[in-house]
């Protein structure tokens, strides 16, 4: 009987198949060797793994370029016979950590789906020189390091200096008989870098265009205030700082001027780019250069991914009215029809509210336009609700007070034709609370688009063993139509499938255990339950609830060591925003609990607590396929959707979670009995808010909770610094917005049910298969198809563009 292939061998096989489809292997080898030759510097004859990585990346890029060019006109691996370890080369590639968490990763999944669905789509963003910081854990504390991801260059991007565009800041506004002019501005140049986004096996290659800030050559040289030439050249950094670094806050607004500059920079460059493309494309228009904007919304759809690009609304108005001389009402109609807004959070501290004074200085013309938009909006509301002054105050874009502010979410709702939330429960909260007044005004504007993930990255690429097992049973159609996973449902009790799925999981766990041992020098029990909680560290995500459960388990083992316990390895990972004190304390608590639990001989390998350092996409691709239990335990009504929850479901982990975000729809798809659902529902949280949440009542009533809290408080887990966690305990007892204690009892009981099922591997794996079979809804292909039909007014296409070596028609 043939020896089964390892993951590495499977991936090599896939890569050879893929590249053979692109050209013969000899050609690939020739291309690779040519790139390797040019990668090596003259005085160096020995190639390093990084040289091989760049040669390989450039070889793959060569194959994409022909398709990329053809796709734009139309609207990775290599032969293992070369004797290189493909996985080793993959490890050399840096993560492009250009977002904070779910929001940026969602956009990446959407780009993959848009290319796979044959949509002529562009993704725009900023090419940060430094992405999300690298997290180091030093003495149990998070320490941030700059993410110099471009240090060795980026083989996937192509600079496009020929499309460089000016972006204006500061200056003054002048009203003239010919119209309004924005004068005496400071100019920063936006340099585009393009990255190909290939669809799955359809020859489509779309574009992600990221902007980098560059000072113009005459920057400050004409300014008499500057001491001289050298100082002027050094000051170019001031302009180029715009794209220097990603702000590392997730679900938190920090009103810094540099951040507002970043937001306008990406919007201004992108809109010029879109309008240039609109004017130069014929679309059946006979004018040599298109000047009529009537058809703009028929040809262009702009989706605002949260409020960060909200300035697209006043900027498009500025271009249409001031530059293109379109009259205001027509320009407003075009703007609304073109733009749509996706809301990603209901947390008040995350909503962008910019000081008017900052706009006055940085973007004076946009402030005028926002005032004019708001005035017309309030006139409309006042006509419908005469005398309702409070409604006008609630619905205004401008918030009055000590510091007048611009509410960007209100601007987004007013200035778009569609507003959507990202899971059914979230979209209901958006309509019933956050934008209640706006929903009463225009109910038809509000929609739901439940998030999804790409099965190409989050199954095929990261879990080839599971993908293979599924292909053997139902074929490979599910990779572009994930609903086909339903075909596995009748096989949930199939002995062979149960055995194969369990075997793949065990292999993934062994592989991840080896990785942990190599990278972190931690030895874990691969037959223990892998209990995984990975996401940004935030009070609302309730990593503290998980900590309390771990301490409770520890105390139970200590109290009765002879009792049979289900062994668990609890892994918690995620970055804390550098300025978020409580989040950093939570990390310190996790590592401190680990220090005690992991070195207690009574516990042995029945309980281990690991903090996964520097959680990022490349680490997610390793840990998610190895997880048994997925923790999705936010307070009901706080997590808009979540997407990690979907990745775990697709990769054969069972979920313990609250009825929040997309967990609700996961339970609906798979059956609530196939998830471990616990805790307060949204209505219960609201009722508890009405009544008043008193954490001390739970503390007094529940002995195990009290013991755990007292241990944290007294320094049991921080003997060298007994007061270390006083702030954490004080928050939990006196001002916990997210009601950790209210869900403790139900959570611990639910974890008991998890243990019980895990003791029966066959029944556990049946539930795993049911979950995988019911995860089809959570493909980003489904999400994007809904955006395309319901918001953008386009149809996905399964037409294959011919490859570059064949004629177009």
> Do β-strands 405-407 and 353-355 pair in parallel, antiparallel, or remain unpaired?
antiparallel
C-alpha–C-alpha distance, residues 217 and 654, integer Å: 57
Q: How many residues does the chain have?
A: 809
Handedness of CA 432, 438, 444, 445 (dihedral sign): negative
Order of all β-strands in the sheet with 398-399: 353-355, 405-407, 398-399
Paired tokens of 74: 């139309």
- The string of DSSP letters for 196-228 reads EEE-SSS--EEEEEEEEEE--TTTTTT-TTSS-
Catalytic residue among 405, 535, 606, 770: 535
Catalytic residue among 290, 647, 739, 767: 647
Cα-based torsion angle of the residue sequence 137, 139, 143, 145 in order, rounded to the nearest 10 degrees: -70
Q: Distances from the Cα of 591 to the Cαs of 407, 570, 571, in angstroms?
A: 39, 12, 11
Q: Which of 607, 432, 430, 615 is nearest to 541 (CA)?
A: 615
Candidates 58, 445, 457, 541; catalytic one: 541
How many other β-carbons are positioned within 10 Å of the β-carbon of residue 395? 25
Q: Determine which one of 643, 655, 765, 783 is catalytic.
A: 643
> Which of 63, 78, 344, 588 is an active site residue?
344
Q: What residues pair up with 640 in beta bridges, in sequence order?
A: none
Per the DSSP assignment, residues forming a β-bridge with 569 are: 530, 608
CA dihedral for 425, 768, 675, 558, sign (positive or negative): negative
Residue 291 annotated to the active site? no
* Cα distance between residue 430 and residue 415, in whole Å: 17
3-state SS record for 272-315: HHHHHHHHHCCCCCCCCCCCCCCCHHHHCCEEEECCCCCCHHHH
Across the beta sheet with 529-534, what order do the strands follow?
607-612, 568-573, 529-534, 629-632, 654-657, 676-677
Instruction: Clarify whether 647 is annotated catalytic.
Output: yes
| 523 among known catalytic residues | no
The beta strands (E) that lie in 674-807 are given as 676-677
Residue 118 Cα to chain centre, angstroms: 22
User: What is the Cα–Cα distance from 445 to 367, expressed in whole angstroms?
Assistant: 25
Q: Which of 35, 536, 616, 767 is catalytic?
A: 536
Do strands 339-342 and 302-305 pair parallel, antiparallel, or not at all (unpaired)?
parallel
Active site residue 643: yes
Rounded-to-integer distance, Cα 15 and Cα 10, Å: 9
By annotation, the residues acting in catalysis are: 344, 535-536, 541, 643, 647
């Amino acid at each position: 009987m043939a020896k089964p292939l390892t993951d590495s061998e499977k991936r090599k096989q896939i890569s050879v198949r893929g590249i053979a489809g692109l050209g013969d292997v000899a050609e690939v080898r020739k291309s690779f060797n040519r790139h390797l030759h040019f990668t090596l510097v003259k005085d160096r004859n020995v190639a390093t793994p990084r040289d091989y990585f760049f040669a390989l990346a450039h070889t793959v890029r060569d194959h994409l370029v022909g398709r990329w060019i053809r796709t734009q006109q139309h609207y990775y691996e290599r032969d293992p016979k070369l004797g290189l370890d493909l996985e080793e080369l993959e490890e050399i590639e840096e993560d492009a950590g250009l977002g904070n968490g779910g929001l940026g990763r969602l956009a990446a999944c959407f780009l993959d789906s848009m290319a796979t669905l044959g949509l002529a789509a562009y993704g725009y963003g900023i090419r940060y020189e430094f992405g999300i910081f690298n997290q180091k854990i030093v003495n149990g504390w998070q320490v941030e390091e700059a993410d110099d991801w471009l240090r060795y260059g980026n083989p996937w991007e192509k600079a496009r200096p020929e499309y460089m565009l000016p972006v204006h800041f500061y200056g003054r506004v002048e009203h003239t008989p010919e119209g309004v002019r924005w004068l005496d501005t400071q100019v920063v140049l936006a340099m585009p870098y393009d990255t190909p986004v290939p669809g799955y096996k359809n020859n489509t290659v779309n574009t992600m265009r990221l902007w980098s800030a560059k000072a113009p050559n005459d920057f400050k040289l004409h300014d008499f205030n500057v001491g001289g030439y050298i100082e002027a050249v050094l000051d170019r950094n001031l302009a180029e700082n715009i794209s220097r670094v990603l702000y590392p806050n997730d679900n938190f607004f920090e009103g810094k001027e540099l951040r507002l500059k970043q937001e306008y920079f990406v919007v201004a460059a992108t809109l010029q780019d879109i309008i240039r493309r609109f004017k130069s494309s014929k679309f059946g228009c006979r004018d040599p250069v298109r000047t009529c904007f009537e058809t703009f919304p028929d040809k262009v759809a702009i989706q605002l991914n949260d409020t960060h690009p909200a300035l697209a609304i006043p900027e498009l108005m500025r271009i249409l009215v001031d530059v293109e001389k379109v009259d205001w009402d027509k320009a407003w109609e075009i703007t609304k029809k073109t733009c749509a807004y996706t809301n990603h959070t209901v947390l008040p501290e995350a909503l962008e509210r910019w000081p008017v004074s900052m706009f006055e200085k940085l973007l004076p013309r946009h402030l005028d336009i926002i005032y004019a938009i708001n005035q017309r909006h309030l006139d409309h509301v006042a006509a419908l609700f005469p005398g309702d002054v409070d409604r006008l105050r609630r619905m205004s874009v401008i918030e009055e007070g000590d510091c007048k502010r611009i509410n960007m979410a209100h601007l987004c709702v007013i200035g778009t034709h569609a507003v959507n939330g990202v899971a059914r429960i979230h979209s209901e909260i958006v309509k019933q609370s956050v934008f209640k007044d706006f929903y009463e005004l225009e109910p038809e504007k509000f929609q739901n688009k439940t998030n999804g993930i790409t099965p190409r990255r989050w199954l095929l690429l990261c879990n080839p063993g599971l993908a293979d097992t599924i292909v053997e049973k139902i074929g490979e159609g599910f990779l572009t139509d994930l609903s086909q996973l339903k075909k596995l449902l009748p096989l949930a009790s199939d002995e062979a499938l149960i055995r194969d799925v369990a075997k793949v999981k065990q292999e993934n766990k062994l592989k991840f255990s080896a990785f942990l041992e190599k990278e972190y020098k931690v030895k874990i029990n691969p037959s223990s339950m892998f209990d995984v909680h990975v996401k940004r560290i935030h009070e609302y995500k309730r990593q503290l609830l998980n900590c309390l459960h771990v301490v409770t388990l520890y105390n139970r083992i200590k109290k009765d060591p002879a009792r049979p316990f289900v062994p668990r390895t609890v892994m918690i990972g995620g970055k804390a925003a550098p300025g978020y004190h409580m989040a950093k304390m939570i990390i310190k608590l996790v590592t401190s609990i680990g220090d005690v639990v992991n070195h207690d001989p009574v516990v042995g390998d029945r309980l281990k607590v690991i903090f996964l350092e520097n959680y990022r996409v490349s680490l997610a691709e390793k840990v998610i396929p190895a997880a048994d239990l997925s923790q999705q335990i936010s307070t009901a009504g706080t997590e808009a959707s979540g997407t990690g929850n979907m990745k775990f479901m697709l990769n054969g982990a069972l979920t313990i979670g609250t009825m929040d975000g997309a967990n609700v729809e996961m339970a609906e798809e798979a059956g609530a009995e196939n998830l471990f659902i616990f805790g307060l529902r949204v209505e219960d949280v609201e009722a508890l808010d009405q009544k008043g949440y008193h954490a001390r009542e739970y503390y007094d009533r529940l002995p195990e909770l009290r013991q755990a809290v007292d241990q944290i408080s007294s320094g049991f887990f921080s003997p060298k610094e007994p007061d270390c966690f006083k702030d954490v305990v004080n928050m939990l007892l006196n001002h916990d917005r997210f009601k950790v204690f209210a869900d403790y009892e139900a959570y611990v009981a639910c974890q008991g049910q998890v243990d019980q099922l895990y003791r029966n591997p066959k029944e556990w794996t049946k539930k795993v298969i049911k979950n995988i079979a019911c995860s089809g809804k959570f493909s980003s292909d489904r999400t994007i198809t809904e955006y395309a039909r319901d918001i953008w007014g386009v149809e996905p296409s399964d037409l294959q563009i011919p490859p570059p070596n064949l004629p177009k028609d």
